[in-house]
Amino acid sequence: MKILAIESSCDETAAAVVEDGRTVLSSVIATQINEHKLYGGVVPEIASRRHCENIVGVTSEALEMAKLGFEDIDGFAATNSPGLIGALLVGVNFAKGLALAQNKPFIAIHHIKGHIAANYITHPDLQPPYLCLVVSGGHSHIVKVKSYTELETVGRTTDDAAGEAFDKAARAMGFCYPGGVHIDRAARLGDKSRYKLPKPHTKNEYDFSFSGLKTAVINLLHNNEQKGTETDVNSLAACFQDTVTSILTDKLISAAINLGYKKIALAGGVAANSQLRDKLSEAAKKHGLEFFMPDISLCGDNAAMIGCQGYYEYLAGNTSDMSVNCFATGKLHTL
């Protein structure tokens, strides 16, 4: 079964053709980052307009790369939640139009389920159940992946998402948007023991809280500035990243052990973080857990992961009718 998938929840307009959930025949991404960078973050109005301009081009390119026409596609999938509402509407309505014109099913996809599904592309043998840490610009979740389509949230952030904390701390350190990757690079040149940062506590042991940590970084920078003391930004990046990745690693590993999981996985934009990948690989080995993470190219927003999840939703009978809407927020376990 060949699915043409569209992803337009934030600042990437993406299209892909995926066969039987696991084989990516093509994947095209038009990123808007350079434009949003000027404003220090994503401007929703601009994002929607760029999706409108780019969607026909990326879809045509995805079909061309796969050497297919619309008539060869068996189903059309698009992210319908969560994300910027104007941005989601562009992708969903475009995909609905194609499904209607071709008389083929339309499949609405939860973005976070898509991120998790990126693992199925990198690891053809991976099958649920497993426990997954999903860390992106908008989410930090520990999720029980019970089947390809049934998930249950075990822990979540009580304030900022991990990626959001990376981006806000990076901005305070003088890096441009999105800052996660800049912190990752700077941290390699710094000393992770130079500054002391807090590890916030949460009521639920598998929940996360990153806003106190972000504020500690901002306060340290302001205090040094007021005193005329120079901040070693590389070391501050190293301390911040080490603290965040330790929290994420410790919580996922202890959740896996306590909940009896032998398989764990990582997903979302922050899954590209080199220290997080290393720490989780080492910790999994130490505790005898099998660990899966997507190829770096599949961590950020892309449509291949949406096509993959689309296949499993289709198999489960979860197609949508033409009245399906988009949602800026969307509960993971209800979709």
- Structural contact between residues 121 and 14, judged by C-beta atoms closer than 8 angstroms: no
Q: List beta partners, residue 331.
A: none
DSSP letters, 90-154, are: HHHHHHHHHHHHHT--EEEEEHHHHHHHHHHHH-TT--S-EEEEEE-SS-EEEEEE-SSS-EEEE
Q: Which is nearer to ligand KG4, 269 or 310 (CB)?
A: 269
Which residues ranging from 210 to 269 are in contact with ligand KG4 (CB under 6 A)? 268-269
Tell me the two tokens of residue 134: 């999903």
Min separation Cβ 38 and ligand KG4, Å:
17
Q: Which is nearer to ligand KG4, 43 or 181 (CB)?
A: 181
d(CA 312, CA 35): 35
Q: List beta partners, residue 110.
A: 81
Amino acid, res. 210: F
When asked if residue 181 is in the footprint of ligand KG4 (CB under 6 A), the reply is: yes
Min separation Cβ 238 and ligand KG4, Å:
13
Amino acid, res. 44: P
- Structural contact between residues 194 and 230, judged by C-beta atoms closer than 8 angstroms: no
Tell me the two tokens of residue 189: 């040149």
When asked if residue 136 is in the footprint of Zn ion (CB under 5 A), the reply is: yes
| Candidate ranges 60-68, 130-138, 277-285, 304-312; the one touching ligand KG4 (CB under 6 A) | 130-138
When asked if residue 173 is in the footprint of ligand KG4 (CB under 6 A), the reply is: no
Min separation Cβ 183 and ligand KG4, Å:
6
| Candidate ranges 52-60, 161-169, 219-227, 320-328; the one touching ligand KG4 (CB under 6 A) | 161-169
CA atoms within 13 A on the CB side of 308: 29
Nearest to 24 by CA among 269, 311, 270, 316: 311
Question: How many C-beta atoms lie closer than 10 Å to residue 60's C-beta?
Answer: 13
138 binds, among ligand KG4, Zn ion, none (CB under 5 to 8 A by kind): ligand KG4
When asked if residue 30 is in the footprint of ligand KG4 (CB under 6 A), the reply is: no
| Candidate ranges 14-22, 65-73, 134-142, 196-204; the one touching ligand KG4 (CB under 6 A) | 134-142
- Structural contact between residues 26 and 17, judged by C-beta atoms closer than 8 angstroms: yes
Min separation Cβ 162 and ligand KG4, Å:
7
Amino acid, res. 226: Q
Q: 163, 200, 307, 330: which one contacts ligand KG4 (CB under 6 A)?
A: 163
Q: How big is the site for ligand KG4, counted in residues (CB under 6 A)?
A: 19
Which residues ranging from 283 to 312 are in contact with Zn ion (CB under 5 A)? 301
Which residues ranging from 38 to 97 are in contact with ligand KG4 (CB under 6 A)? none
178 binds, among ligand KG4, Zn ion, none (CB under 5 to 8 A by kind): ligand KG4
Q: 73, 301, 304, 306: which one contacts ligand KG4 (CB under 6 A)?
A: 301
Q: 86, 91, 105, 300: which one contacts ligand KG4 (CB under 6 A)?
A: 300
When asked if residue 313 is in the footprint of Zn ion (CB under 5 A), the reply is: no
Residue 108: which residues within 8 A CB-CB, separation 6 or more? 77, 78, 79, 80, 81, 92, 320, 324
When asked if residue 138 is in the footprint of ligand KG4 (CB under 6 A), the reply is: yes
Q: 120, 166, 206, 208: which one contacts ligand KG4 (CB under 6 A)?
A: 166
Tell me the two tokens of residue 275: 């220290």
- Structural contact between residues 152 and 333, judged by C-beta atoms closer than 8 angstroms: yes
* Contacting residues toward ligand KG4, per CB under 6 A: 10, 136-138, 163, 166-167, 178-181, 184, 268-270, 272-273, 300-301
Interacting residue ranges for Zn ion, rule: CB under 5 A: 136, 301
